[in-house]
């Protein structure tokens, strides 16, 4: 089973709302990732969690707050977003936290976020 | 820093024919891995094929093969016997150590019936 699930599939929120994106994997992977993908662009890395600890934050604004409650779950809490934050948010996982160059990352279907 | 370049914004191919999607890369690391992902309009990134820098043979996975030319720093994806379901965005990517994937700009492939 190489499935990563994400909820919700679609989300519309106002600039004053607080919402959360959820990601789950049951493959026993120890590293999880959040990517942001704007229309017609490649995905860009936001955060990396290794062994449930935040290991990389790619200078993401504080209105995005990641959380890893356990090894299977990854959340992205959203607060006071701007319209330019509208994008596809992709979650991924990989088996080890050591970043082996040959290790595949498995992606979820993404959440399409629209900020009004 | 690593860099991935895909110079074909869009490609067309007739159903049942083969197509090559180009990817060049730049890295100073002697050990690296190159990946190809497919992204249909639904949004999910689907892993297709992997090539390691020390692999002696070109990678193959079903209808997908990777034409790896290390001296030229190219890792082109070849799709044989194209199907209508192959229409999608295709991204070449490289793993960056303990971080995430660095992706090229992508190529939109359209398969014509």
pLDDT per position as a tens digit, B42-89: 999 999 999 998 888 999 999 999 999 999 999 999 999 999 999 999
Q: What is the mean pLDDT of residues A38-56?
A: 91
- What's the pLDDT at A1? 54
Please judge whether A88 and B43 are an interchain contact, meaning their C-beta atoms are less than 8 angstroms apart. Answer: yes
Model confidence at A99, pLDDT cuts 50, 70, 90, reads low
Report the range of poorest mean pLDDT among A89-98, B23-32, B41-50, B95-104: B95-104
Backbone angles phi, psi at A84, to 5 degrees: -70, -5
A107 neighbourhood in chain B, CB within 8 Å: 37, 44-47
- What's the pLDDT at A2? 60
Model confidence at B99, pLDDT cuts 50, 70, 90, reads confident
For residue A43, pLDDT over 60 is answered with yes
Please judge whether A110 and B47 are an interchain contact, meaning their C-beta atoms are less than 8 angstroms apart. Answer: no
Report the range of poorest mean pLDDT among A41-45, A67-71, A74-78, B29-33: B29-33
A→B interface, C-beta within 8 Å: 33, 35, 41-43, 45, 48, 50, 55-56, 88, 90, 92, 97-110, 112
Q: What is the mean pLDDT of chain A?
A: 92
Q: What is the mean pLDDT of residues A22-51?
A: 94
The beta strand positions in chain B, using DSSP E, are 3-5, 10-14, 19-21, 24-26, 33-39, 46-52, 60-61, 64-69, 74-79, 88-95, 101-103, 107-112
Write out the two tokens for A110: 């993404």
Please judge whether B45 and A104 are an interchain contact, meaning their C-beta atoms are less than 8 angstroms apart. Answer: no
Q: What is the mean pLDDT of residues B100-113?
A: 95
- What's the pLDDT at A96? 81
Lookup result for tokens 């190219």: B74
Model confidence at A115, pLDDT cuts 50, 70, 90, reads very high
Secondary structure class of A108 (helix, strand, coil): coil
The residue among A11, A101, A103, A108 with the most chain B CBs within 10 A of its CB, best to mutate, is A101
């Amino acid at each position: 089973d190489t499935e990563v699930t994400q909820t919700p599939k679609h989300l519309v929120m106002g600039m004053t709302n607080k919402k959360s994106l959820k990601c789950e994997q049951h493959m026993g992977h120890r590293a999880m990732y959040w990517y942001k993908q704007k229309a017609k662009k490649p995905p860009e890395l936001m955060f990396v969690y290794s062994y449930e600890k935040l290991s990389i934050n790619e200078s993401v604004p504080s209105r995005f707050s990641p959380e890893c409650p356990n090894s299977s779950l990854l959340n992205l809490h959203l607060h006071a977003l701007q319209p330019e934050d509208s994008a596809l948010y992709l979650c991924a996982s990989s088996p080890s936290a050591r970043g082996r160059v040959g290790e595949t990352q498995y992606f979820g279907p993404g959440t399409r976020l629209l900020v009004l | 820093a690593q860099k991935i370049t895909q110079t074909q914004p869009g490609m067309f191919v007739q159903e049942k024919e083969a197509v090559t999607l180009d990817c060049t890369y730049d890295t100073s690391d002697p050990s690296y891995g190159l990946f190809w992902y497919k992204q249909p309009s639904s949004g999910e990134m689907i892993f297709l094929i992997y090539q390691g820098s020390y692999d002696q043979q070109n990678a193959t996975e079903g209808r997908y093969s990777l034409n790896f030319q290390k001296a030229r720093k190219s890792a082109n994806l070849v799709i044989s016997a194209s199907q209508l379901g192959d229409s999608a965005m295709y991204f070449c990517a490289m793993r960056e150590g303990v971080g995430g994937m660095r992706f090229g700009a992508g190529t939109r492939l359209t398969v014509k019936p």
